[in-house]
Structure 1
Amino acid sequence: MDEENNAFRAYRGKSLLQRPFFPIYALLGVSYLLVLIGFVVALSKVATISSEITKMHSELAKDPFGHDFHLFPCGADTRQWEYFGGKCYYFSLKALPWHQAKAQCEQQQSQLVIIDSFAKQNFLQTRTRNERFWIGLHDQQTEGEWKWLDGSNYRTGFRNWKAGEPNNYQGQDEDCGQLWLNGEWNDFSCTTDSYYVCEKALPSKATPASKG
Structure 2
Amino acid sequence: MDEEKFQDNFRTYAGRNTVQRPLFVIYILLAVSYLLIVIGFAVTLSKATTLSSQLIETQGKLKKYPTSHDFRLFPCGPDTRQWEYFNGKCYYFSLQAVPWQQAKTKCEEQHAKLVIIDGFPKQNFIQTRTRNERFWIGLHEPQTEEWTWLDGSDYRTGFKYWKQGEPNNYLRRDEDCAQVWINGEWNDYICSSPSYYICEKPLPSTPPASSKGK
Partner of 2:33: none
Q: Which runs of 5+ in 1 are unaligned?
A: 1-56, 208-212
Partner of 1:161: 162
* Aligned equivalents of 1:113, 1:104: Cα separation in 2: 12
Deviation sequence 1:102-150 (CA, Å, 0-9, x none): 000000000000000100000000000220100000012222x100000
Q: Is the 8 A contact 1:65 1:76 kept in 2?
A: no
C-alpha RMSD of matched pairs (Å): 1.8
* Aligned equivalents of 1:165, 1:113: Cα separation in 2: 19
SS in 2 for 1:67: helix
Identical positions, percent: 70
Matches within 5 A, 1:60-209: 64-143=66-145, 145-206=146-207
* Aligned equivalents of 2:198, 2:67: Cα separation in 1: 26
Question: How many residue pairs align between the two structures?
Answer: 148
* Aligned equivalents of 1:105, 1:64: Cα separation in 2: 23
TM-score normalised by the chain length of structure 1 = 0.67
Partner of 2:10: none
Partner of 1:42: none
Equivalent position amino acid for 1:93 in 2: L
CA displacement at 1:178 relative to structure 2: 0.2
* Aligned equivalents of 2:72, 2:179: Cα separation in 1: 32
Q: Which runs of 5+ in 2 are unaligned?
A: 1-57, 209-214
Equivalent position amino acid for 2:134 in 1: R
* Aligned equivalents of 2:82, 2:67: Cα separation in 1: 17
SS in 1 for 2:75: coil
TM-score normalised by the chain length of structure 2 = 0.66
Runs of 4+ displaced beyond 2 Å: 63-66
CA displacement at 1:65 relative to structure 2: 2.3
Matches within 5 A, 1:25-44: none
Structure with more helix by fraction = 2
Equivalent position amino acid for 2:99 in 1: P
